Structure formats: structure tokens, C-alpha cells
Amino acid sequence: MNFDEEIKRKHTHSMKWDMLQERYESDDLWAMWVADMDFKVPQEILDALQEVVDHGVFGYHFPPDSLKEEIRSWLDRRFDYAINPQQIVFTPGVVPAIHHLIQTFTNEGDGIVIQTPVYYPFFALVKENNRKLLENPLTDETSGFTMNFEHLEEQFKNGAKMLILCSPHNPIGRVWTEEEQRRLAELCEKYGVFVVSDEIHADLIFKGKHLPFSNVARDYSINLATCMAPSKTFNLAALQMSYVIFDDSTLQKSYEAQLKSNFVGGISPFAVASCEAAYRKGEPWLEKLLAYIQENISYVKKEIKNHLPEVTVHEPEGTYLIWIDFRKLGFTSTSLQKWLREEAGLALGEGHVFGKEGSGFARMNVACPKGHVEEGVRRLKEAYKKLPKHQEHSSS
């Protein structure tokens, strides 16, 4: 594996690289936005995919039991999350899975809580399903972001039926502690709130182990669906595969009936082969990846601290995404985005799309070669030096 290798992605229909014009009104930007990686997948995955290609027949297909067994074993090894393979239901992606969970377990007009700033499709999932969006903004403290349990309880009292938990949390990179998850579980039990726990970033944690919400929820009486996937961990998003785990077989049956009545198809043999190879043989690659990403994070943190002192980096405990606070530079949300695009030549995740609390922030994806991160940071530093007050400083 060579994480330093720069692999050209332009003109490959990559969202990150080939949708810049559409999203940022310029093609000529340094892309650090979409949450995928610019790295090649482990060789073991390429070999498994090659075998599928070499077979050459792509007729109707179903996921083998061995896939569920690999998932069971991975969850057990990595997170002490003990499940039975029968608890797993496949869906082509976590976003479609959440859509079907909302459809199955809530009705039109029901309240669904999300904790903002958060992965922005959560807003659309609630609104497009004609459910009521109930926001519980995270508390932004000097020590980092925390959940606001008092306000959450108010939202639950307002009749919330479901909570979409993001664990680890994109974009702020928090890995929720056991204490936080227990407080959450207590409230969900008290108000009978269904929890959809989106744990797609579970493998991307820098210290300790991911704690699945299910391992906490088993001590409470809570309806829960846990969404996971190998896609963030091993850069397989285009192969479209995720899975939902149910602790309750009645809930599982309802969800399966929803998928059936909506004619949701299965997953492809490429998804099966890549996930099996990843979970069976991908651990050494993943450990090296995490160390590499951590170096990128430390680099960004150090450079920003030394060269853009008013800008604050929220060092992620998990995810390869860095939430950066530009508010002290005095921009409005619109002028910050303009500055990042036009002066720094950067396409970062623009903070306001993650909710109004994201205004004045931007999200930088550092799952890319170090040289790419260095160029991104260089652009930030150059743009910062040209800010009027810094010109005054440098000439005085």
C-alpha cells in the first residue's frame, strides 16, 4: 500500500472531482469535500473483484451466508458487538436504509430529531418524507461539542418519534462516550423514541474502540436499527452496499416487508466480494490507513495553529473529516464560502449545509495523500496572508 500515491480522479465521474463546477461554480478548485478517500483500496479487495470479473457471468445473484458471517466476525472482533448473522438486512446504502426506516417506523407529520450540525442528507430524509424536523443543536464548548440533553428532552416532549444518531458524528468528529450514550438511551426509553444509529464511520476511530449504541441499548427498552457499511472504511462507496442490524426480529420483519413492497433490490456480486475481502483481509491496511490519516490531521492542526492563529481546528476523535472554525476571521457565511473558493481555490464542505450552526465553519477531508493535504493547507495560508489586516501586519 502506498498512501502517498497521487491517483488522478478527474474525468472518472468522481463526485468529488468532476462535480466541482456544478456545486462550486468552478472546475479549478482543490477538492477536499465529498466524504470518500483518494486512496486505492487494499490489493486483497482488488484481487477479489478481479475474480468476479474473470468469472464473466453477471446473472441474478444473492448474497451468500458467508458474507453475513464475515460481518458478524468483524463486528465481534472490532467492537465486541455480538450479533447473530440473521439480524443483518442489506440495503444499497445507508441513506436509502434510513429512508426506509423512516417509512417503516414513523408516519407523516411525526417528529424526527437530528443533532446539528450534521451530515446534511439527514435534513432531506426527514423533510422529503413529510416528517417534522426537530433539531437538537450540539453545544459548542471550548473543550469541543457535546449533546444538549436538556434541549433533547424538550424535543422528545414535543412528540418526537425517532432520533437519527450519528456515531461517530459527521462533521464534528466526536466519538460519543459510554456516559453520553447511556444518557441518550435513558431519554429514548423514557419517551419511547425509536433510534436509528448511523454508525457508518465506526471503523475510523483514532483512540480506543467504537461503542455500538446497541451495546448500550440492550440495558434499556429501546427500539433500534443500527446502520453500518464497509464503504467509508475501505473506500467502496460506488459499490453501493450497507447493512442494517436489528436487535428485535419483529422490527426486522416490518423493515423487510417495507423493502419488499418497494421492490428494493439486493446488492451486487462486486459489493459482496469487496466486503468479504475487506473484512477478512483488510485489517492491516486499515491500521496503516488510520495512522496515515492521523498524521494528516496533526499536520493540518499544527499548520493552522502556527499560521492562521484565529482559526480553530476541532481535532476529530473519529472520521477523516476536520471541522474548522473560521468565525473569528469575521466573515459572513456567504463571504467565507466566497473566500475559500475564490481566494484559497479550495472546495471544502461548506459549514452552513450541515445546519445553521455550521455557518462560519468548513469541513476538510484529509483522506488523501499528504502532498494533497499540504497543497490544501498552502492555499489556505496564502489566502490568509492576503486578508487586508494581515497585509497591514506584514508591512508594519
Q: Write out the residues near ligand PLP by the rule CB under 6 A.
A: 35, 93-95, 119, 166, 170, 198, 200, 229, 231, 237, 242
| In the complex, least distance from residue 270 CB atom to ligand PLP, rounded to whole angstroms | 15
| In the complex, least distance from residue 318 CB atom to ligand PLP, rounded to whole angstroms | 11
Q: 3-state class of 325 per DSSP?
A: strand
| In the complex, least distance from residue 36 CB atom to ligand PLP, rounded to whole angstroms | 8
Q: Which residue is nearest to ligand PLP (CB)?
A: 93
Phi, psi of 240 (to 5 degrees): 50, 75
| In the complex, least distance from residue 121 CB atom to ligand PLP, rounded to whole angstroms | 7
Cα separation, 125 vs 102, whole angstroms: 8
Q: From its phi and psi, is residue 168 left (phi > 0), alpha (psi between -120 and 50) or beta?
A: beta
Q: Compare residues 242 and 274 and give the one whose CB is closer to ligand PLP.
A: 242
| In the complex, least distance from residue 179 CB atom to ligand PLP, rounded to whole angstroms | 22
| In the complex, least distance from residue 234 CB atom to ligand PLP, rounded to whole angstroms | 13
Q: Compare residues 117 and 269 and give the one whose CB is closer to ligand PLP.
A: 117
| In the complex, least distance from residue 242 CB atom to ligand PLP, rounded to whole angstroms | 5
Question: Which residues, 6+ apart, have CB-to-CB distance to 396 below 8 Å?
Answer: none
Q: 3-state class of 205 per DSSP?
A: strand
Q: In 92-216, at which residue ranges do the beta strands (DSSP E only) sit? A: 111-114, 132-135, 139-141, 144-146, 160-166, 194-198
Q: Compare residues 106 and 242 and give the one whose CB is closer to ligand PLP.
A: 242
Q: Compare residues 194 and 384 and give the one whose CB is closer to ligand PLP.
A: 194
Cα separation, 299 vs 186, whole angstroms: 39
Q: Compare residues 188 and 237 and give the one whose CB is closer to ligand PLP.
A: 237
| In the complex, least distance from residue 118 CB atom to ligand PLP, rounded to whole angstroms | 8
Q: How many CA atoms lie within 13 A of 53 on its CB side?
A: 7
Do β-strands 194-198 and 160-166 pair in parallel, antiparallel, or remain unpaired?
parallel
Cα separation, 293 vs 297, whole angstroms: 6
Omega cis (within 30) before 369: no
Return the number of other C-beta atoms located less than 10 Å from residue 370's C-beta: 15
Residue burial 264-279, b: 16+ Cβ < 10 Å; e: rest: bebbbbbbbbbbbbbb
Q: 3-state class of 31 per DSSP?
A: strand
Q: Compare residues 35 and 147 and give the one whose CB is closer to ligand PLP.
A: 35
Sheet holding 361-365: strands in order across?
Answer: 30-32, 346-350, 361-365, 321-325, 312-314
Q: Compare residues 113 and 229 and give the one whose CB is closer to ligand PLP.
A: 229
| In the complex, least distance from residue 347 CB atom to ligand PLP, rounded to whole angstroms | 15
Q: Compare residues 166 and 217 and give the one whose CB is closer to ligand PLP.
A: 166
Q: Compare residues 200 and 308 and give the one whose CB is closer to ligand PLP.
A: 200
